Each structure stands twice: as structure tokens, then as C-alpha cells.
Amino acid sequence: MIGIPKETLAGERLVAATPKTVTQLRALGYEVAVERGAGAEASYSDKAYSDAGASIVDAAAAWDCGIVTTVNAPSEQQVAQMNNAAMLISRLAPHTNNELLDALAKRGVTALALDAVPRISRAQSIDVLSTMSNVSGYRAVIEAAEEFGGMFTGQVTAAGKTQPAKVFVIGGGVAGLAAIGAAVSLGAEVRAFDVRPEAGEQIESLGATFVQAKAAQQERSSTGYAKALSDEQERATLALYAEEAAKADIIITTALVRGSAVRTITKEAVAGMRSGSVIVDVAATGGGNCELTVPGSKTVSDNGVTIIGYTDLASRMPRHTSQLFGTNVVNLMKLLTPAKDGKPALDLDDPVQRGMTVTNESQILWPPPAVAVSAAPAPAAAGSAAAGATATSLSPEELKEEAQRKAAAQEAEQAAKRKRNTVLMAISGIILAVALAFTDAAFLATFSIFVLAIFVGYYVVSNVSHSLHTPLMSQTNAISGIILVGSLLQIGSENPVVTTLAVLSAAIASINVFGGFLVTYRMLSMFRKDA
């Protein structure tokens, strides 16, 4: 039996399961007990839960279940209501909540922290932090739009013209990208910055301008996380933020590092902003990126800048956030219940399950062992062991020199490759010019069109934005359809060479058409909602 208690944290509107996820949990073999009124704040009625197959119970019965899942960590009184050897699935903040871990261990509860999911690819479907960040980033734009005294999109009317709002987003993670997408869709002029240079492509794919600042770019460590900023990099980033803040109507800050906020907007930067500007500090839960942020409140600076430091942005959209949170729980239960028999089987050899298990019966298992995953490129197979042994014995200066030598060797290799390509193209051009000099005018005209089509096609396709790849696929399907029709018309030719080429052309064009439609349908299915 999985218990879904009502959240007791003041102002919390979320619930750990929705009628839809109740149905999914029951499909895994579980029975579900929902506390009366648990989903009311998220617009889910008790009747909707009972129609989905859940039992409507009181608080004591919900906490008495073999498995209990909540949005927020339970109080000591709620832990005392749990069964010995029960399982708790919740956000537990284990890195700062030692007293709760002690209470859970004393009670014999096996606790899985949804906010301690290892950051690896196969764990993304149960990553509650990403879910909450996504909603918070979107909601930050909604809050900014309500507070801002103008429209996001530019308008051209008979009464005159208005300029679009200028939005600056700090951070290109989940929350930052969600904020960028929402602001762009509302018509704002969006600029964004992230200390990780590889985030630029994702930012630009959403229609925003990636602000470049080489002196402020961070390097990534072998674990995949950004390295700490040096003093010079920190000064460069603060100068960049102040410059962008002076130009922006709205700033959305999302810089959190393992739950702690990084200072990005100083009070001097706020003083340089225009009156009526808005700052939404999504990182207020970690103390705030803005120096003037008051977590949980909205304040106005001396020069008229509104600073929003709400810590419940995700809870302000309770219906969809609860659905997403509940889906994270369902995905976890699928991992714990491979047999779909309603019996969780915790596998501590699995790095995902081990990483989020903070207590197991009477043992405290936090912190977990490091996940053996590296974001650094794998070393070459030949001599990799020797190279690894050598690397560990080098000093930082020697490692830097080694990296510079490798970069110089790669640059030399690329230069030699470019030279070879240039020579080959020149020779091919001479041979082609000589050959065309002895051909008739009709073939020359046809061949010229063919060559021009190659160049045009190359430059068109290579410059298409990632967001347009699906419609481009449909366009190439149409072109392949024309080729297919032309091939069918030539199959009846008396010339065997023409017939052979026509058959091959028809076959290849058919593969393009059907393969293109198959890929397009698969891409579109990713954005379809379940019926």
C-alpha cells in the first residue's frame, strides 16, 4: 500500500500523486491510499482519486502505509506515525538535515531522497530537481510579466509602436532554459549568459542571444561540473552582469550550485538599473543570486527596481507540477518494481538507487559513494593505462603544457588536412574544366545546374537552425517525391543505362521518403500528450 498524505508545510499546494499517477502505480501492482483533501489545492478532488482506484483515508492511515511518498520532508511527529521497516520517498535535503536522518534510522525507515538523484542520463526521468527547476523557470517569467509595467512583445499599432521587453537570463541550466523559452514565446528580446561555454548552443536554439565573455567562461572538471571561478573570472562575470543589468527591463537569475546560490547581481548593479525594472531570483531557495533578495518576499529597491524572491515558484503552478512530480515517483517505482508485482526490491548495487537511499532500516547511508561516471573524454585504447599513470604524476604546469602540445598537434593536423583538400579541389577543378571544354552545350548547361544545386543545397542545409530540422525533413520528402516521379518516367527508356539509373534513383528516393516520414512521426510523438 502506497500512502499519499496531505502536505502540511505552510502554503504548500502540491501533492505527491495525481489521479493519473495513481492509475500508473496500480498498474505496477500497488494499492494506493490518499489522505482526504490531499489534492484539493492542486484541483484534484477526492472523487477523482477514488475513480482512479485509490482509497480515501485519514492522515493516520496514510502515514501507516508500507510505502509513503510526500513532496516535502516529514516532521518528527509524522515519522513517529510510520511503520517500522516502511519506505519513505520524498525530498529530504539529506546534506543539511542530519536530525531527520537520525529520526528515520531510529524508526527503521528506508528513505529515498528524491532530491539526491545522481546526475546521470538514465536517472533523468526521476530527477525531481529538474522537474521543479523547469516549472520554476517558466513561472519566473509569469511573475515578471505580471509585475512588469509593459508588454513583452513589441507592438505596431495605429497609436504608435512599442519596443519589446529586454530580458536577461543568468544561467543556462534547466530553469534558465525554461525561462528563456517562455520569454521568447512571449515576444521578448532575450539575452542569456552561462559560465559554461557549451550552454551557448542550447540558449541560441531557443531563440535567445548568447552573451559571450571569454574571460568569464568556466572550464569543466572530469566530473562534469563546472570548476570554481577564479578571482579574475568572478570579477569578469560581475562586470558582465552589471553591464547587462543596466540594459535589461527584466532579469531572471537561476544560478544554483548544489543547492547554494551564487552572488550574481550586486546592490551596485541594481542601483544602475532603470526604475520599473524587475528581478526574479529563482535561486532564492538557496539564499538568492541578487544581493538585495529577501527569500520568500517581494521587495522594491530605493531606485524602484522590484526584486521577487519567492521560494515557492513551482508550487504556484500546482496542477502541472504535481503531475510531473507524481510521474517522477512512478518512474522510480518502475525501477524498484521490475516484476510489477507491487513489491519494491531495493538494489543497493544500482548506483541510481544507492545514490538516493539515505537510510536503510536502521543504517544511515548518507553520503553515498561517488558515481563512477566521468564527463571527460575517454582516453585512447592504446597505452591508456600508461597514459593515466603518467598523468597522475604530472604537476598542474606540466599538465597544462601537455594540453597545449596536444592542441598544437591537432591544429597542425587540421592545417595539413585543409591544405590537402585545397590541392585536391584545385586538381579536380582543372580536370573538370578540361573535360567540360570538349562537351556539347546541352550537357554543359545541365551539369552547371547540377553543380549549382549541390552548392545551394549544402549552404541551405548547413545553416538551418536545429529547431527547423523537422520541417526541413518534410521539405526533403517533397523533393524526394519529385525525384521519384522523374525516375518512374525514365524506367521505360530503351537505353539500359538510363533504366538502371532510374531504378536506383527510384529506390533511393523511396528510402528517403518513407524514412523521412518515419523520423518525422517519431520526433512529433515526443511532443504529443497522452490521451
Q: Biggest alpha carbon distance in the chain?
A: 95
The answer to whether 322 touches 294, Cβ cutoff 8 Å, is no
Measure Cα distances from 495 to 296, 491, 525 in Å: 80, 9, 45
Burial 103-131 (b: 16+ CB within 10 A, else e): bbbebbbbbbbbbbbbbeeebebbbbbbb
**Surface-to-core class of residue 293, CB atoms within 10 Å of its CB (0-12 exposed, 13-18 middle, 19+ buried):** buried
- Residue 260 has phi, psi (to 5 degrees) of -105, 135
Residues designated catalytic: 119, 124, 127, 130, 225
**What DSSP character marks residue 220?**
B
Strands 155-157 and 160-162: antiparallel
Residue 477 CA to residue 516 CA, distance in Å, equals 6
- Residue 361 has phi, psi (to 5 degrees) of 60, -110
Match 536554439 to its residue by C-alpha cell.
205
Cell of 429: 577543378
Omega cis (within 30) before 164: no
Residue 127 CA to residue 194 CA, distance in Å, equals 22
Give the DSSP H or E segment for 22: helix 19-27
Partner residues linked to 156 by β-bridges: 161
Measure Cα distances from 56 to 20, 90, 248, 367 in Å: 15, 21, 50, 36
